[in-house]
Amino acid sequence: MKRRIGILGGTFNPVHLGHLRVAEEVADFIGLDKVIFVPAYRPPHKPGLAVSTYNHRLNMLGLAVTGNPRFEVSDIERQLGGISYSLRTVSHMKKNILPHQTELYFIIGADAFLEIETWWNYRDLFKTTCFAVMTRPGHSQDEIIDFVRSRISSLYRWVPEECSFSCSEYGSIHLVPVTHIDISASAIRSLIRQGKSIRYLVPEQVREYIYKHGLYLEDNVNEVSKHQEV
């Protein structure tokens, strides 16, 4: 029997409760055996912007997923080095790390999905993995359907009862409604710089780690790309 594994990439600068909650909801909706969080080593969209060190982001993710046996963290993008292109990461994991009988799902927000044409060799990503597109207010189902058919491939067939697309040449695309949690990493960093509380926005272990290491106290070393191409 194939295992279902999800990959959730991002800068996670820092990881917050919104990240964890949507990962949990996607896992339940699709029936994932595992969700692997993959922090970007060098985000490609805005390479000139600095991020807090990779080790800190990786460590905070490790703290955040502790206690959830369905979650784990991978440092694959550091191992690969260079710019963190999603296709490169997913292809390597599928070929060299994950069990052969694995059904892989790339977890992505609707906003980033609708910008996927800007990603490196994005069409090949659809040949490599299935997609779990997290839908939130602001992007209608019809908008996503039109985008897939007109910009990805007209071969995709919409299956309303399953809220997904199927295609013989590409991986399936599933629309997953998730709870809208209005938390952003940039807002958390801003609160820290203002000396305000971030309690209940991030896991407690992450909050303690941030203050222990004095993270996000200066504007010029912590801004990151909003994109998930990643």
pLDDT given at position 137: 77
C-alpha distances out from residue 69 to 20, 108, 120, 185, Å: 13, 21, 32, 24
Which two three-digit tokens encode residue 131?
């997609």
Q: Whole-angstrom Cα distance, residue 93 to residue 39?
A: 14
pLDDT given at position 2: 87
Q: What is the CATH number of domain 3-221?
A: 3.40.50.620
| Closest residue by Cα to residue 3 from 37, 38, 39, 35 | 35
pLDDT given at position 82: 86
Q: Whole-angstrom Cα distance, residue 133 to residue 45?
A: 20
One-letter identity of residue 165: F
The position carrying tokens 């659809």 is 126
> Please, are residues 3 and 35 in contact by the beta-carbon 8 Å criterion?
no
pLDDT given at position 49: 54
pTM above 0.85, yes or no: yes
Q: Strands 173-177 and 130-135: what pairing?
A: parallel
What is the mean pLDDT of each successive set of 10 residues along the chain, which is 230 residues long? 94 97 98 97 69 89 97 96 92 92 96 95 96 89 95 96 95 96 95 98 98 86 43
Helix segments in the chain, DSSP class H: 17-30, 54-65, 76-80, 86-92, 110-113, 122-128, 141-147, 185-193, 204-213
pLDDT given at position 54: 92
CA atoms within 13 A on the CB side of 193: 14
One-letter identity of residue 152: I
Q: Whole-angstrom Cα distance, residue 195 to residue 75?
A: 31
